[in-house]
Amino acid sequence: MSDMAAHSTFVRMRIAASLPPPAKGGMMGRWNLFSGWLNTALTLLCLYLIWLLVWPAIKFLLIDAVWTGSSRDACLAQTGGSEVGACWPFIAAKFSQFIYGFYPQSERWRVDLTFLMGALLLAPLLIPCLPYKAANAFLFFGVFPIAAFFLLVGGGFGLPHVETRSWGGLLITLVVAVTGIVISLPLGILLALARRSEFPALRVAAVIFIEFWRGVPLIAVLFFATYLLPLFLPPAWTLDALLRVLVGVSLFASAYMAEVVRGGLQAIPRGQYEAAMALNLGYWRMMGLVVLPQALRIAIPGIVSIFIGLFKDTTLVLTVAIFDLLGQLRAAFADPNWASPVTLFTGFAFAGIVYFVFCFGMSRYSLFLERRLRTDHPREAE
């Protein structure tokens, strides 16, 4: 017994130095790709599956693809070789249609200018280290939409009027998506705040609005806006077809946005509100400076999901005879001049790549933003 008692007291003579963590090993080691026969088998199986998926795609899109030609003849098996891949001359021939729709040839510089302006204003807004964010945001969200409207629609400043009926392609896709995104975020935030308001009337109004728009399918909204709304309105009121769709899409997206933002708001502890109130910030400054910056950061994944969903859903305008990128694509399929067995696959591959670039870009940017805005739990990133 006395022996154990002697061992139970202990005094360290020297505090040991901190050591670096053990090496994690390379990618092979960390991922356990070949650490045992089962893992090795699974790794080989997965490599085989990847090969099965990727190789035909590469073969179709690049190796067997037809790169030059001026009509369907180039893409037929008889002339192009035994196996014909993607028919890129088809895309090249129809490219301007995919971008502009039936926007008059002579006026297409206006679309180009709009795209360029948008890109030049958006890029510095997204790069955090560049200065003048407030002015930049004002230009993009306040000035750009108005400038784009006058530039695209025309009818003033010596620009001939271009009916929205002749718009199409990527132009429509971007106009619908950007309008939806730019309107749904602020409107969704206001709806979320209203739904959490202490005024019952405001709360009920927000709940009714949100549940109504979430309860109806987007296609129904588009149909209603396009075919039924004119029946209810006096004949003198002729709203532009595209405008009606834009309003429908924006309100629809706002309802979803409101719920995502509300989720973020609910994650903010009561103490944050109390500290803001004790500092006498008042409701709007409390929300704008303390609560929303934190809530929106939490809600980024949900917000971006809605943006991506919205971008892809724009293609539903096809059902009300507005031809977005996909609509123009399908119109181009009907051209007998380019009818070939691979036209369809080529077209959809092209559309898929375009949609993927936009959606993947949004997704990666949101991840970057999330990481950048993280100030708490610095160790979480590891």
Q: Residue numbers of the site for another protein (CB under 8 A)?
A: 269, 271-272, 274-282, 285, 289-290, 293-294, 297, 373, 375-378
Residues 98, 325: contact at Cβ < 8 Å? yes
Two structure tokens written together for 337: 């001049």
- C-beta closer to another protein: residue 135 or 278: 278
- C-beta closer to another protein: residue 282 or 309: 282
Closest by CA to 251, choosing from 200, 191, 302, 296, is 191
- C-beta closer to another protein: residue 105 or 375: 375
Using alpha carbons, list the distances in angstroms from residue 192 to 25, 67, 265, 294, 334: 47, 51, 8, 14, 46
Residue 135 Cβ vs another protein, minimum distance, rounded to whole Å: 17
Residue 21 Cβ vs another protein, minimum distance, rounded to whole Å: 21
Q: Which residues of 259-288 are buried (b: 16+ CB within 10 A; e: fewer)?
A: bbbbebbeebeeeebeebeeeebeeeebbe
Question: Which single residue is written with the structure tokens 């099965």?
Answer: 52
Residue 265 Cβ vs another protein, minimum distance, rounded to whole Å: 14
- C-beta closer to another protein: residue 369 or 373: 373
- C-beta closer to another protein: residue 161 or 377: 377
Per-residue DSSP letters for 185-221? HHHHHHHHHHHT-S-HHHHHHHHHHHHHHHHS-HHHH
Residue 81 Cβ vs another protein, minimum distance, rounded to whole Å: 60
Residue 260 Cβ vs another protein, minimum distance, rounded to whole Å: 19
